[in-house]
Amino acid sequence: MNLNAISILGVVLIITSACVPKYEGPSESSIGDTNPERFVMIGGTFGSGYTNDALFRFGQENSIGAFIHQSINSVNTIPFNQPLTSDASVGLSTNGLSRLILGYKTDCLNETSLSPVRETALGDASILNNIYSGSPFNNMSIPNLRSGAFFNTDYSNQNPFFSRMASSQSSSVIDDVNSIDATFFSVFLGLDDFMPYIKSGTRNDSLPDIITFETNYRQILENLTSNGAKGVVSTIPDITSAPYFTTVGWNDLVLDSANNATLNNIYNPLEFYFNEGENPFMIEDPDANMFGIRPMEEGELIILTVPLDSVKCYKMGTLFPFRNEFILTQNELQNIRIHLNSINDVIRSLAIEFDLGLVEAGPFFDKIQSKFPYNGINLSTTFVSGGAYGLDGIRFNPRTNALFANEFIKLINQKYNANYPLVNATNLDAAFFP
């Protein structure tokens, strides 16, 4: 079985740099038709700086909103208050674990390689202590924040990542956003509405209701623009292009003659046939036939929650077909993408209605998928070594956060006749060494 796709032993990693980002673009800058006096970033997990499967200070300081602010701040000095964790914190994941770092890990074949491992057994729960000190936060991006939660006055009891930054136990997210009285804003919202469904192989939760999403998103924009504030919003990308869904390929089952013969003896009576070399994995599919199993098809995805040791050593994906929770089938992907397109049409329509700038996230994610060249660095979706995503395989690392922030800055400049400089992301981190 060839699982080299998940091995990162021997890859050349780009060392974290503590350098302050430089800016690209013309020296003559201007704010144009914007009023950046009070800037706020609205978003979910992606916008919060959550990366390497945890919220921690370095990620927060290199969040999408922080980079947009740094560009604006280079032209017009403005505050940008974030709910930062301590420098020494190991971070906290949504599952209560610490952040991922690169460490040496030995698998069931007794092969040792650099792999993402937890810095400590548990995350830093102290970061959930409320840190509101009378000043609203300009980065109102909150891990797991869905569009429908903005108006929930009990949300601090439901999401501890909001509880740590809420102005009171009974305040809603929109209450705290409104307290900023923003004069300019950016919104990257909606990905968390999809994520639980996609990450679970469609087993948990459901796709967001389109009408409800439109109602909530409209109400959010009504609040943000009520004082005449301008801003930019972003569509939602197809996150299934991320390494979390593409690292293990549908046909990464490589068989020698002995294993090939064994599987053919088992599956030939069901009219499934294997060859030496690359083969598709076997999966459960109750609609496939009376046995409820079939080979994977090209384009179908294996989720990185799959226990890889079980794949390598204990016949998962072969004698024991992958359960649906580890797979996104063609039908599931088609349904997700149709739904995503409908939601994005809502965002596009509301951007026109409220006369806002619109960032199309899809093309940016597509560029990374096709190996995006940036200042001599080819960014890709290859797990870890591709240099675009954090160690969780879903969220961006600081470099890609900066590049995605540039997409917002470009739209701000275009829409509002401004000339804010782009962030030079060359020296920003790709991966942490152990």
- Whether 189 and 258 share a structural domain: no
Q: Which residue has the tokens 């013309």?
A: 26
Distance CA 401, CA 406 (A): 9
**Burial class, 254, CB count within 10 angstroms (exposed 0-12 / middle 13-18 / buried 19+):** middle
pLDDT number for residue 132: 97
Q: What is the pTM of this model?
A: 0.91
pLDDT number for residue 369: 86
- Whether 204 and 79 share a structural domain: yes
CB 165 within 8 A of CB 132: yes
> In 181-277, which ranges are continuous DSSP H helix?
191-199, 210-225, 243-246, 257-267
- Whether 64 and 117 share a structural domain: yes
Of 351, 131, 368, nearest to 238 by C-alpha is 368
Q: For residue 176, tell me if it sits in a domain.
A: yes
- Whether 110 and 192 share a structural domain: yes
- Whether 353 and 413 share a structural domain: yes
List C-alpha distances in Å: 240 to 195, 292, 394: 10, 25, 9
Q: For residue 297, tell me if it sits in a domain.
A: yes
Domain that holds residue 141: 4-245+330-424
Q: Select from 328, 354, 385 the last residue of a domain.
A: 328
Supply the DSSP string of 56-92, one letter for each residue.
-HHHHHTSHHHHHHHHHHTTS-------PPPTT---B
Task: Please give the chain's pLDDT, 434 residues, in tens.
Answer: 445 444 433 333 333 333 445 445 444 679 999 999 999 999 999 999 999 999 999 999 999 999 999 999 999 999 999 999 999 999 999 999 999 999 999 999 999 998 999 999 999 999 999 999 999 999 999 999 999 999 999 999 999 999 999 999 999 999 999 999 999 999 999 999 999 999 999 998 899 999 999 999 999 999 999 999 999 999 999 999 999 999 999 999 999 999 999 999 999 999 999 999 999 999 999 988 889 999 999 999 999 999 999 999 999 999 999 999 999 999 999 999 999 999 999 999 999 999 999 999 999 999 998 888 888 888 999 998 898 999 999 999 999 999 999 999 999 999 999 999 999 998 786 655 54
Pair of tokens at residue 155: 């949300």
pLDDT number for residue 20: 43
CATH for 337: 3.40.50.1110
Q: Select from 298, 328, 358 the last residue of a domain.
A: 328
pLDDT number for residue 371: 84
Q: Select from 328, 345, 379 the last residue of a domain.
A: 328
